[in-house]
Amino acid sequence: MANKTRIQKFIDTHPEVTVTTKDTNKILWKVLSAILTVLTAGRMTNLITGFVTTLGNRIYFPPGWTVATAAPGDYITLQHEYVHYKQYVALGMGNVWLGFVLFAILYALLPVPTGYAWFRYKFEREAYLTSYLTAKQLKIPQDFTQYAKWLSGPEYFWAWRDCTAITQWFTQQTANKK
Ligand SMILES: [Zn+2]
C-alpha cells in the first residue's frame, strides 16, 4: 500500500481523532515552543517544525504537512500519537480532554519534572513500542538505542536518565511480541 493511501486510510477509519498541522492555533504553538526553549535552556527549540504533537483528540503535524507529501515515517508517528490519544481517553475514563489535563500533569511533573520523570517515561515508552512494531510491519529499520537517546535527552526533557534500562525494556517487550 502506498504511504499516502495508508495514512488516508488511518484518517478515514479513526474519526475520533483530527489530523491537522501546526499551521492551526499558531499563537498557541509559539507560546508552547517558547516555554520549552526556556525550560530546556535552548536545547529544545524545534517543537513546531520538528515534532508531531497530540493535544486532546487533535494530532498536529509540522506546518505545511500534507497527506500527499507525507514521509513513510509519518505513518509510524501517527500510530505513536494515537497511543497518546488512547492514554488520554483511558486516564479521563472516556473523556479525552479530562484525560489530557491529567496526562499533562503526570507527564510534566510527576514524580519529578526531569531526570526520573516516571510517567513521561512510561507514557512515551508505550508509544515508542507501537512505533517500533509499526515500523517492523512496514519493514523500516528502527533502533532502540535511538529511542533511549531521545527519552534520556533534551527531546523529552531528560525523562529517564538510565539509558541502559530503557534499551533493556524495549528488548524485553519486543522479545515477547515476536
Ligand atoms: Zn510520544
Grid look-up 500533569 returns 105
Cis peptide leading into residue 111 (ω within 30°)? yes
Q: What separation in Å is there between the alpha carbon of 83 and the centre of ligand 1?
A: 8
Q: What's the whole-model pTM score?
A: 0.90
Contact call for residues 166 and 152 (beta carbons, < 8 A):
yes
Q: What separation in Å is there between the alpha carbon of 5 and the centre of ligand 1?
A: 23
Q: What separation in Å is there between the alpha carbon of 122 and the centre of ligand 1?
A: 10
How far apart CA 38 and CA 35 sit, in angstroms, is 5
Q: What separation in Å is there between the alpha carbon of 40 and the centre of ligand 1?
A: 18
Mean pLDDT of the 59-71 span: 94
pLDDT value of residue 157:
86
pLDDT value of residue 19:
97
- Average pLDDT over all residues of the chain: 92
Dihedral pair phi/psi, residue 43, rounded to 5°: -95, -10
**Predicted confidence (pLDDT) per residue in 137-156, tens digit:** 999 888 889 999 999 998 88
Q: What separation in Å is there between the alpha carbon of 124 and the centre of ligand 1?
A: 5
- The number of folded domains in the chain is 1
Work out the percent of the chain whose per-residue pLDDT is above 90: 72
Grid look-up 514521509 returns 71
How far apart CA 24 and CA 22 sit, in angstroms, is 5
Q: What separation in Å is there between the alpha carbon of 132 and the centre of ligand 1?
A: 12
Q: What separation in Å is there between the alpha carbon of 105 and the centre of ligand 1?
A: 15
**Predicted confidence (pLDDT) per residue in 83-137, tens digit:** 999 999 999 999 999 999 999 999 988 888 888 999 999 999 999 999 999 999 9
Domain hosting residue 35, numbered range = 3-176
How far apart CA 114 and CA 154 sit, in angstroms, is 10
Q: What separation in Å is there between the alpha carbon of 127 and the centre of ligand 1?
A: 6
